[in-house]
Structure 1
Amino acid sequence: MQTWQMQTAKAQFSDLVQRAKSDGPQEITVHGRSVAVVMSREMFDRLSGNQDSLVDFMRQSPLYGLEDIRIERDCSPGRDISF
């Protein structure tokens, strides 16, 4: 993993992002301490498990396929804001 000082990372942000995409995660440091890691979106999705689309997520709902869903609205008054 390549390490970038914050000042250099800011000045060469485009290069930093390209390297994250092609070479893997890039570490950013401030005063010699690691503060962040920049990685490609593909790697982030793989590590976080965000590979399903919204449609796939909705199809996994226990309500998927039901045609007679009734959602009742709470008609209670809102809180009283009197000055």
Structure 2
Amino acid sequence: MGRLFSMTTGAVQPFSQSETWCFQDAKARFGEVVQRACTEGPQCVIVPGQDAVVIISAAEFRQLTGPVTGQALIDALQASPFRDIDLESEPVAIPARDAGL
């Protein structure tokens, strides 16, 4: 039996047997696995004896990861001790040779 770890809440949820698929069954019935992920919750796919992947709905993925805003990158750049360095440079002319086709 596998477990699902939530990155936002830190909670660990065990998978019930009905939510676990062996790889071959999941491959053969992929549409059903996706449908169940959307309607019933996470679907765990196992390969001989171990958890391999968990299929979740797009809505649940967005809830776990939060909105993609780029704010973390903006915050990191603003916190940099090098934020006052000018990164603009003069263009460099590089000669090109004829391709000779």
Q: What is the alpha-carbon distance in structure 2 between the residues aligned to residue 74 and residue 30 of structure 1?
A: 55
| Deviation of 1:76 (Å) | 3.2
Look up the match of 1:64: none
Question: Structure 1 residues 4, 74: closer, same or farther in 2, change over 3 A?
Answer: farther
> What is the CA-CA distance between 1:77 and the residue it aligns to?
5.5
Q: Which runs of 4+ in 1 moved over 4 A?
A: none
SS of corresponding position for 1:19: helix
Q: Tell me, which stretches of 5 or more residues in structure 1 are unaligned? A: 62-71, 79-83
CA gap of 1:45–1:31, structure 2 versus 1, over 3 A, is same
Match in the other structure for 1:40: 57
For 1:13 and 1:74, locate their aligned partners in 2 and report how far apart those are by CA, in whole Å: 54
Distance 1:24 1:74, change over 3 A: farther
Gaps of 5+ in 2: 1-14, 75-87, 95-101
What is the alpha-carbon root mean square deviation over aligned residues?
2.7
Partner in structure 2 of residue 75 of structure 1: 91
Aligned to 1:68: none
1:14 aligns with 2:31: yes
The CA distance in 2 between the partners of 1:10 and 1:39, in whole Å, is 15
For the residue of structure 2 that corresponds to 1:76, the secondary structure is coil
Q: Distance in 2 between matches of 1:74 and 1:3?
A: 58
In the TM superposition, residue 17 of structure 1 has moved relative to its aligned partner by: 0.2
Residues 27 and 75 of structure 1: is their aligned pair in 2 closer, same or farther, counting only changes over 3 Å?
same
Q: Which residue of 1 aligns with 2:77?
A: none
